[in-house]
Homo-oligomer: A and B are copies of this chain.
Amino acid sequence: MAASAGPEIERLISLLAKLPGMGPRSARRAALALLKRREQLLVPLAASLTETAAKVVNCSICAAPDTRDPCSICSDTSRDNALICVVEEAGALWAMERSGAFRGKYHVLGGLLSALDGVGPEQLRIAELIGRVRGGEMGGGEAREVVLALPATVDGQTTAHYLAERLSAAGVEVTSLARGVPVGGELDWLDDGTIIQALRARRPA
């Protein structure tokens, strides 16, 4: 590609193209929209990203990104500490929260077990989850139930199976979202109604 737009704009385009759902052409469109709407879009987005980079940290308890540590959910004393929902990523946590159906705490694994990608238990936040369930100094008391809200994919179900064994051994009730989640579906693309149904019909893992 000719560097007709100058190195700064070319660099902006190549960074935008790395966002999910963006390609080289849509990234150029986005860059153009940013340049056309400098005060309404470019400057606020630059400020928002800078602020996010500076302020947002991963919660030391659940690993969800937030400006507070512990995060606003972990700090919320009105939520049930003994009920922990395990998710792959923060996107799934946000989807659960949008459904409004869950009033416990969360635990972000940071990925899924995958033989293909060489992801083992030590790469995920599993030891921290077991620690929370057993009631370490951070967890604030033992957990009564762990709800596995993992994707209905091969890796998701492998991870759920592994966690169910580990957690049962730690003496906690383990449930998982009901079949209501479409097979192969990713949690944060689901509609709220399906999430509510799946949560209500959760069953032993």
Interface positions of A (Cβ within 8 A of B) = 1-2, 4-6, 8-9, 11-12, 15-16, 18-22, 25-26, 28-30, 32-36, 38, 41-46, 48-53, 55-56, 65-68, 71-73, 89-91, 93-94, 97-98, 100, 188-189
Sorted from nearest, which 5 A-B pairs have the closest CB atoms?
Answer: A4-B97, A46-B49, A19-B30, A46-B50, A32-B91
Known contacts A34-B52, A36-B89; 13 further A-B pairs (Cβ under 8 A): A4-B73, A4-B93, A4-B97, A5-B94, A8-B48, A11-B48, A12-B52, A15-B48, A19-B34, A21-B30, A35-B56, A35-B90, A46-B49
Q: Identify 21 residue pairs between A and B in the complex whose beta-carbon atoms are under 8 Å apart, listed by A's number.
A: A1-B98, A4-B72, A4-B93, A4-B94, A5-B65, A5-B66, A6-B65, A6-B68, A9-B52, A9-B56, A11-B48, A12-B48, A18-B33, A19-B30, A19-B33, A25-B189, A28-B91, A28-B188, A34-B49, A42-B52, A42-B53
Stoichiometry, copies per complex: 2
Check A2 against B67 for contact (C-beta < 8 Å). Answer: no
